Structure 1
Amino acid sequence: MVDSITNSVLAPLQNSGAAPSQAAAPTPYEVTNSFASYLTGAIQDINTQQTAADKMNQGLLTGQVQDMSQVMIASQKAALSLDLAVQIRNKAIDAYQEIMRMQI
């Protein structure tokens, strides 16, 4: 579960220097090679996971979903992806602050 989240966030960054593979269909953020497109795609993935978890929670409360384990898995995936995004943001802010402290 963590591997799929990590791969979805880090795969575009790892493959940025290599030639794109012809065998695999491009993901939404492989179409353009800008950092903004990578960031937008990752945020959209997190939003999609959060929305799916919310829908499953609502379905559980209304009795439409009977399998609680699927609801818990969706909720944990959404929580882990959000936690990963927050940690990446914190590291980026720390790196920016470190660069700003450097004297020229």
Structure 2
Amino acid sequence: MSQGIEFNRLMLDMRAMQMDAMSAPKSTAAVPEMGGTSFSDMLGQAVNKVNDTQQASSQLANAFEIGKSGVDLTDVMISSQKASVSFQALTQVRNKLVQAYQDIMQMPV
């Protein structure tokens, strides 16, 4: 008998949730805007940072090539690898963004 009451109560709760879900959607106008930077700003900053890393690596390599004192081959190689890794990471982010865009565009309306 207890299980029957629990089942009926469960069914009533499920119907109440169904009615709530089918009711008019809540207004989103009351939701305050989040502060901070936008995604496009963050992406632009990441691109600029990768660009700066690549330029610094190039300048360090040029300084080593002309024989400037204080520039070590290990520093040049480390800088070059940092630039390479940051560019590869940015490329992967770009690929994921393109794939997400394509997935959204292929969704049925």
What count of residue pairs does the alignment treat as equivalent? 74
State the alpha-carbon separation in 1 of the partners of residues 99 and 36 from structure 2.
27
1:85 — aligned with what?
Answer: 90
State the alpha-carbon separation in 1 of the partners of residues 86 and 71 from structure 2.
25
Between 1 and 2, higher relative CO (CA 8 Å, sep ≥ 6) is seen in 1
Q: Please report how far the alpha carbon of residue 35 of structure 1 lies from its aligned counterpart in structure 2 after TM superposition.
A: 1.5
Whether 2:70 is the aligned partner of 1:70: answer no
Q: Where in structure 2 are the equivalents of 1:1-104 lying within 5 Å?
A: 32-64=36-68, 65-104=70-109
Q: 1:33 to 1:66 in 2, by over 3 A?
A: closer
State the alpha-carbon separation in 1 of the partners of residues 42 and 71 from structure 2.
36
Give unmatched runs, 5+ long, in structure 1.
1-30
Q: Please report how far the alpha carbon of residue 32 of structure 1 lies from its aligned counterpart in structure 2 after TM superposition.
A: 4.1
Deviating above 2 A after TM superposition, structure 1's stretches of 4 or more consecutive aligned residues are none
State the alpha-carbon separation in 2 of the partners of residues 34 and 68 from structure 1.
39
Residue-by-residue CA offset, 1:38-61 (whole Å, 9 max, x unaligned): 112111110110010000110111
State the alpha-carbon separation in 2 of the partners of residues 66 and 96 from structure 1.
44
Q: Please report how far the alpha carbon of residue 36 of structure 1 lies from its aligned counterpart in structure 2 after TM superposition.
A: 2.0
What TM-score does the superposition give when structure 1 sets the normalisation length? 0.66
What TM-score does the superposition give when structure 2 sets the normalisation length? 0.63
Tell me if structure 1 keeps the 8 A contact 2:60–2:71: no
State the alpha-carbon separation in 2 of the partners of residues 45 and 63 from structure 1.
27
